[in-house]
Structure 1
Amino acid sequence: MRSPFHLVENSPWPFLCSVSTVCVVVGLVDWMSDGSLGLLGFSGIQLGVVLYQWLRDVVRESNQGWHTSYVAKNLRLGMMLFIFSEIFFFFLFFSFFSCSLVPSVEVGGVWPPVGILPVNVFSLPLLMTAVLLGSGVSVTWCHHAMMAGHRDEAICGLSITILLGLYFTFLQVNEYMECSFTIADSVYGSLFYVMTGFHGIHVIVGTMMLLVSEFRLMSHDFSSERHLGLEVSIWYWHFVDVVWIFLYLCVYWWGGV
């Protein structure tokens, strides 16, 4: 008799994913400091390949029937705990409030620091906010359509969400290219690029998760009763949306006016 619980086999993908993620972060810092894209491009491709292999194994386990109701319940709980840990990860950047509420003499006693020209809150950041909020609407439409058994509508809503996620990433890259300051320009530049950069990485990961769900949806892997992969991807995307709203209000609005 098959156990309701599933013990996964030994896999190299978690370790390789961690190494690739660190390389991507280092590549981002290298790009922001010197404008070099070599390490970032290589590590990005490496991370994409690792995630593809890892998600392929998870999909294979699901198709083989290992994701029973007990396993699905634990997977949902695991995703909730993961998102909860990610929330606390962004809480680590409370140093932003310390620096902005009580600016030190090293930055001129004002916030933003002397010599820093902040990004116009009503330009690209406002458009990026509208894009992410629109993606939240479309992904919610996809979820409700999937639960109602309307597969074509779910595919349409998910496709719109993926396009908006890619567009957001494109806008963020343009914003970095147009910024008048770099990650090396005082504590403001460091916090700005680290906070928005880590959120950008989360957007890319969320887009990849939704893209995998799109392929599975088009391959009839999901039904109105069983669509766990799509469901947790939508949870993650809503988390990305909420985090960006706080970043927009704190970093761009409050920190730039």
Structure 2
Amino acid sequence: MSSITHAKTPYYFVPSPSRHPAMASLGLFFVVLGAAQWINGANWGKYSLAAGMVWFLGVLFQWFSESIRESEGGQYGHKVDLSFRWSMSWFIFSEVMFFGAFFTALWWARAHSVPALGSLDNALLWPDFKAIWPSLAAGATASPAGIVEPFTTMTPFWLPTINTALLLSSGVTLTIAHHALIAGHRSKTIAFMWLTVLLGFVFLLVQGYEYFHAYQELNLKLSSGVYGSTFYILTGFHGFHVFIGMLMLLFITLRLQKGHFTSERHFGFEGAAWYWHFVDVVWLGLYTLVYWL
């Protein structure tokens, strides 16, 4: 049962004017300003970035708290539920396009750019260039100017495979929690949600160790040619999405412990679950294309 008894739900909810969008934009302005100045050598940039991030997160906390009160107060009817579902669907679609762009960049570099640079047309310009993708010849930088330090590529064993098992397991525990919520077994739902959050957290720890291993022992860096840049961009952005998804699931779990959601009304739970399953699917593609091929 939800912690608040719902009154008659309105056909459609019209929110009152809110300061939150403007306040969130102000925080993001200082985040972007600080980041741009920091990477260009201005020491004050990091303070602007930190202050803007704290401001932005504070606004989000107030904004989400207000939305939760409205939802638990019975102000969100069927139409609002539909708008949330469409919004989350389009958001996940935008994320699919986001990762699709980077997967396409990886494919283009491997299938077109590297072979083209090693063709006869470019032989006079780069006579010593080797059109070899690094994953096929570990340690080959294919850098005739010697500007890329030798490095060793990442293999699927064992850290990436362990992370694959962790994410797939988290998808199973999340599905069990969902079915338990529908069946009205709140304690079981909470237990499996905490297990899902724990699996996501362990995934991030393993990936952090993988980065340390890659940087220190394999000399694999963001500057390690197109292989290094695509490796860190794809795995790094995915790790960030895992972190965001883990936070979503954490707050959903805390709300469950407060008595929020019912077996009939729990789109907040479903939206976070959709996002987490999307993160799982992206990792499977990444695991195959980056670590195996």
TM-score range, shorter chain: 0.7 to 0.9
Letter in 2 for 1:58: S
Greater percentage in helix? 1
Letter in 1 for 2:284: I
Equivalence map 1:73-112=2 (5 Å):
73-93=82-102, 94-102=104-112, 103=114, 104-105=117-118, 108-112=130-134
SS at match of 1:242: helix
Of 138, 150, 158 in structure 2, the residue corresponding to residue 123 of structure 1 is 158
Which is higher, the Rg of structure 1 or of structure 2?
2
CA contact (8 A) 2:194 2:253 kept: yes
SS at match of 2:204: helix
What is the alpha-carbon distance in structure 1 between the residues aligned to residue 29 and residue 238 of structure 2? 19
What is the alpha-carbon distance in structure 1 between the residues aligned to residue 225 and residue 71 of structure 2? 48
What is the alpha-carbon distance in structure 1 between the residues aligned to residue 292 and residue 12 of structure 2? 48
SS at match of 2:133: coil
CA change 1:252–1:87 in 2 (3 A) is same
Of 152, 161, 171 in structure 1, the residue corresponding to residue 187 of structure 2 is 152
CA contact (8 A) 2:183 2:263 kept: yes
Residue 167 of structure 1 pairs with residue 167 of structure 2: no
Which residues of structure 1 form unaligned runs of 5+? 31-37
Residue 201 of structure 1 pairs with residue 251 of structure 2: no
1:52 aligned partner: 61
CA change 1:190–1:19 in 2 (3 A) is farther
CA contact (8 A) 2:24 2:56 kept: no
What is the alpha-carbon distance in structure 2 between the residues aligned to residue 126 and residue 23 of structure 1? 39
Of 251, 256, 259 in structure 2, the residue corresponding to residue 212 of structure 1 is 251
Deviation of 1:6 (Å): 2.6
CA contact (8 A) 1:182 1:189 kept: yes
- Give me the identity figure in percent: 38
What is the alpha-carbon distance in structure 1 between the residues aligned to residue 267 and residue 56 of structure 2? 23
CA contact (8 A) 2:27 2:53 kept: no
SS at match of 1:116: coil
CA change 1:61–1:142 in 2 (3 A) is same
State the Cα RMSD in Å: 2.8
- CA shift digits 1:109-148 (9 cap, x unpaired): 1112523311121111111110000000000000000001
2:80 aligned partner: 71
What is the alpha-carbon distance in structure 2 between the residues aligned to residue 20 and residue 169 of structure 1? 28
Kindly tell me the number of residue pairs found equivalent between the two proteins.
Answer: 244
Residue 253 of structure 1 pairs with residue 288 of structure 2: no
SS at match of 1:182: coil
TM-score by structure 2 length? 0.75
Deviation of 1:5 (Å): 2.3
CA change 1:52–1:174 in 2 (3 A) is farther
1:34 aligned partner: none
Letter in 1 for 2:133: W
CA change 1:245–1:55 in 2 (3 A) is same
2:279 aligned partner: 240
CA contact (8 A) 2:9 2:74 kept: no
Which residues of structure 2 form unaligned runs of 5+? 1-7, 40-45, 119-125, 135-139, 142-149
